Structure 1
């Protein structure tokens, strides 16, 4: 089934009938995106949310000195966007790029608003998505404040076992809030133990 994964993702929180599924699917845009392609760039109007069908994406912030800070990764069966800017129809603060060739589904904000009217169950679905994202980010912030870099790296490896092999060490380090050199030291220490 072509849309199997995204429909399974939605079915975790709401039940749709055939007409509601059809209404949802007609609003989706599917795209196959090559590796290292940007699907959203900092400063561009953020008017879409994306579902990862295959592949992996990364959202990062680029500061004025050109330093990247990885904010999040999105792997198969995850949603991603610059949430603040998406909700408020603002230019993106983040850039989202593909770590590897990816197949994504795009849902534009105006189509999501239509969906809320035609299939109100989606308000519940996206509320749950937002709550889960908020919880995940709050836990990450607490971990950054209370855990060692080595403990945060272990959590990263458990959360993203496949991603760790696909991304550059500097991207993992920026996600963890440490330097690539310090991450190398942690990895060497792990190999020895």
Structure 2
């Protein structure tokens, strides 16, 4: 459980008692690849912290096209923030891409921890702010960068995922079809070998 405590300690300092209280409010699960942790239309109950494995969040338009919103690998957090905050059914699917060990924190336990350890509110505020900045940057990238530039940024942000995530998921994340992505990668490889 030290990974999640190390993650928290990047922003706030907890006493040993506070660490024990925090851990007492979490539960750890193991989930196999292809497990759906959340389906669109369900109310999200948990925020997920990844000890091991890879998650992806996505939505589906017209029951056909998947749009990957984000990935979470070791030492990252993931959740459907809309559903968690509003208490309404969400729009996201969260899927395990690679066998995972996850720490779950329910919204109720998170609120309880805010009352008992007020500095945890600061920690989660920082997480939400960082997430907001990342999503805004991604939106601006999608509006202003070419597919090649978006792929380059993906490679910089998620270097460990380039070989561990299906190419169709990377294509979806950068906003292109798998066919276009395949041609683009081939062209980039040709250009880099010259």
TM-score normalised per structure 2: 0.96
CA distance in 2 between counterparts of 1:58 and 1:95 reads: 8
Q: Does 1:36 align with 2:34?
A: yes
Q: 5+ unaligned residues in a row in structure 2: which ranges? A: none
Question: Does 2:67 align with 1:73?
Answer: no
Deviates more, 1:129-138 or 1:38-47: 38-47
Deviation (angstroms), 1:161? 1.4
Counterparts of residues 7-26 of structure 1 (less than 5 Å): 7-26=5-24
| Structure 2 partner of 1:185 | 183
1:48 aligned residue: 46
Any residues of structure 2 matched to 1:120-135 within 5 Å, and which?
A: 120-135=118-133
Q: CA deviation at 1:186?
A: 1.2
Whether 1:4 and 2:37 are equivalent positions in the alignment is no
Q: Which residue of 1 aligns with 2:116?
A: 118
Displacement of 1:160: 1.0
* Residue 93 of structure 2 is aligned to residue 104 of structure 1: no
Q: Which moved more, 1:7-16 or 1:36-45?
A: 36-45
Q: Matches of 2:145 and 2:114 in 1, distance apart?
A: 40
* CA-atom RMSD in angstroms: 0.9
Q: Deviations over 1:53-89 (max 9, x none)?
A: 1110000001223211101000110000011111111
- 5+ residue gaps, structure 1: none
**SS of the residue 2:34 aligns to:** coil
Q: Give me the whole-angstrom Cα distance separating, in 2, the residues matched to 1:56 and 1:74.
A: 6
Q: What TM-score do the two structures reach when normalised by structure 1?
A: 0.96
Cα-to-partner distance string for 1:107-158 (whole Å, 9 max, x where unaligned): 0000001000011111000000000000000111111111100000011111
CA distance in 1, matches of 2:124, 2:102: 18
Any idea what SS the aligned residue of 1:178 has? coil
Once residues 132 and 78 of structure 1 are traced to their aligned partners in structure 2, the CA distance between those partners, rounded to angstroms, is: 12
